Amino acid sequence: MTRSATADLAGTPVVLATRSAGKLNELLPLLARLGVRVVTLADLGLPEEQGEDALEMYDTFEENALAKARYFAERTGLVVLADDSGLVVDALDGRPGVHSKRWSGRPDLTGVALDDENNALLQRALRAAAAAGQVSRVARYECAAACVWPGVSARDDESVRNGDPRTSRGERVVRAQTAGTVLEEARGTGGFGYDPYFLSDDLGATFAEVSRDDKAGVSHRGRAFHALLLDPLVRAVVQATVPDDGTAHVSHTRAQ
């Protein structure tokens, strides 16, 4: 991408498109370490609109991440980062997968209460699977991280709808994962979602037992955003938002 194609981005922020407190707690320091200047939806005063939850209606993490990034890019006219992630359990045929956040079917709950319901359902499902002979508790967290930038109406672009989203003009999406095992009992008080039950193969501890930085070093989300920001075109777009004084940059350090 040439300087002339991105000159109008200079000094504009990159939007981190999530309303999840847990994701913000992890991603804001991670992106800061990578030198990416971001603002949140709250920073922009962008009210939540009815139907935002319906953006995650697709069957893959990539499609859901792109849907969120496209939506907020159109609302803000800015470069947008977004993700979709979830827990994939072998013995449950990949569930809860893209439905991880709302697997328990409790739209009336949020935060810790919703996490508790989802984890209770996870344990019941694994016990039922074990009773049917599927005793494995092997699982992985998966994350798709997406970047969409202005200048392309992605929603109306046939090449985007019908082509490979990883090569479509105006957007990129990458996917990463981290392996582990689902424990029968929770361990630790940090993290969010399924973290207290997810024993990381890399760390030998649950994601709820380790520091935020240690988790970010091996997590699905940390790996996905590292990989996304190593994409040459994404790096060019993000660097184009940096003020002329060069006070920020994108790190070239690879995720583990």
Active site residue 84: yes
Predicted model pTM:
0.85
Tell me if 237 sits within 8 A of 9, measured CB to CB.
Answer: yes
In angstroms, the Cα distances linking 91 to 51, 86, 126, 127 are 32, 15, 7, 10
Give the residue-averaged pLDDT of 12-27. 93
Domain ranges of the chain: 3-240
The CATH classification of domain 3-240, taken from the options 1.10.10.10, 3.20.20.80, 3.90.950.10, 1.10.3720.10: 3.90.950.10
Place 71 in a pLDDT band, splitting at 50, 70 and 90. Answer: very high
pLDDT digits (tens, 9 = 90+) for 136-177: 999 999 999 999 998 644 444 443 344 343 334 589 999 999
* pLDDT at residue 244 in the model: 55
**Choice among 10-14, 151-155, 161-165, 199-203 with the minimum mean pLDDT:** 161-165
Two tokens, residue 220: 């699905």
What local confidence, expressed as pLDDT, does residue 253 receive? 39
Of the listed 43, 59, 83, 84, which one is catalytic? Answer: 84
